């Protein structure tokens, strides 16, 4: 199997070097770009497995790079944001990014995000069947039923809808806005408040114990992600 090809988009040479050194040590192949236009060119000509994208680029906003790439490809994009400001991350996720890292980040964090993305890709490739399986969770999509450890999960229609949306995007962070748009068709403060309530009841039924979520991860102020469970 070919080593995964990572496109590293970063205008700061020291951070770019840190990332490429890490990738080299861990046997990834990589390409680099230092601008948004360079990123679009490399992404379109080499079709990388993952794009690591800095949001603050000299020639264009990283969000615009995501929007352009999404016009032709679903390649995984992990955003690197220097700003701890949530609105940047949310904007990037809404534009179609898969995940984010906030600077400063550790080498371990970077590698963990790449592994999550690779597992998601593998899962998407094997998920052509109408039965979704993740750890002890099974969703029989045609039948509209979910099971945990073989036992039926008694979900309300709304909880089931949320579970399926998270499952279809396993490994990907979904923002509050994205989820409420998909589920209710609109997204205002009251929708986001309702989402919290539905997620709380869903998780109570899905997770084994409180305080140790296995399936659904909360990103405070951002959204939720279904984790790939081994
Ligand atoms: Ca930058």
Q: What is the DSSP string of 66-132?
A: HHHHHTT----EEEEESS--HHHHHHHHHTT--EEEESS--HHHHHHHHHHHHHHHHHHHHTTSSEE
pLDDT exceeds cutoff 80 at 55:
yes
- Mean pLDDT (whole number) for 6-26: 96
Highest mean pLDDT among 22-26, 84-88, 178-182: 22-26
pLDDT of residue 143: 82
- Mean pLDDT (whole number) for 89-99: 91
Computed over every residue of the chain, the mean pLDDT equals 90
For residue 102, report the distance from its CA to the centre of ligand 1, in Å.
Answer: 12
For residue 20, report the distance from its CA to the centre of ligand 1, in Å.
Answer: 15
Higher pLDDT: 153 or 86? It is: 153
- Mean pLDDT (whole number) for 94-101: 92
Higher pLDDT: 24 or 123? It is: 24
Percent of the chain beyond pLDDT 70?
Answer: 95
pLDDT band at 1 (very low <50, low <70, confident <90, very high): low
For residue 40, report the distance from its CA to the centre of ligand 1, in Å.
Answer: 16
pLDDT of residue 89: 87
For residue 51, report the distance from its CA to the centre of ligand 1, in Å.
Answer: 15
pLDDT of residue 125: 64
pLDDT of residue 126: 62
Higher pLDDT: 230 or 126? It is: 230
Lowest mean pLDDT among 11-20, 31-40, 80-89, 158-167: 80-89
For residue 39, report the distance from its CA to the centre of ligand 1, in Å.
Answer: 13
For residue 71, report the distance from its CA to the centre of ligand 1, in Å.
Answer: 23
pLDDT of residue 127: 60
Whole-number Å distance between alpha carbons of 225 and 128: 21
Lowest mean pLDDT among 33-42, 83-92, 123-132, 199-208: 123-132
Closest CA to 12 of 68, 63, 82, 110: 82
For residue 135, report the distance from its CA to the centre of ligand 1, in Å.
Answer: 38
């Amino acid at each position: 199997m070919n080593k995964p090809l990572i496109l590293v988009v970063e205008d700061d040479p020291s951070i770019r070097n840190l990332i490429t050194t890490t990738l080299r040590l861990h046997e990834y192949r990589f390409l680099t770009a230092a601008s948004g236009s360079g990123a679009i060119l490399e992404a379109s000509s080499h079709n990388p497995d993952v794009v690591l994208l800095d949001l603050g680029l000299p020639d264009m906003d990283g969000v615009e790079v995501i929007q352009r790439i999404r016009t032709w490809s679903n390649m995984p994009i992990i955003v690197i944001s220097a700003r701890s400001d949530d609105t940047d991350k949310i904007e990037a996720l809404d534009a179609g990014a898969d995940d984010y890292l906030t600077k400063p980040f550790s080498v371990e964090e970077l590698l963990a995000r790449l592994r999550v993305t690779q597992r998601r890709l593998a899962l998407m490739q094997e998920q052509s069947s109408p039965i979704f399986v993740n750890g002890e969770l099974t969703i029989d999509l045609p039948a509209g039923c979910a099971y945990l450890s073989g036992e039926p999960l008694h979900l309300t229609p709304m909880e089931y809808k949320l579970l399926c949306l998270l499952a279809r995007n396993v490994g990907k962070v979904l923002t509050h806005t994205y989820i409420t748009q998909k589920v209710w068709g609109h997204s205002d403060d009251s929708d986001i408040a309702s989402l919290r309530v539905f997620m709380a009841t869903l998780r109570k039924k899905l997770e084994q114990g409180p305080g140790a979520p296995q399936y659904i991860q909360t990103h405070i102020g951002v959204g939720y992600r279904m984790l790939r469970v081994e």
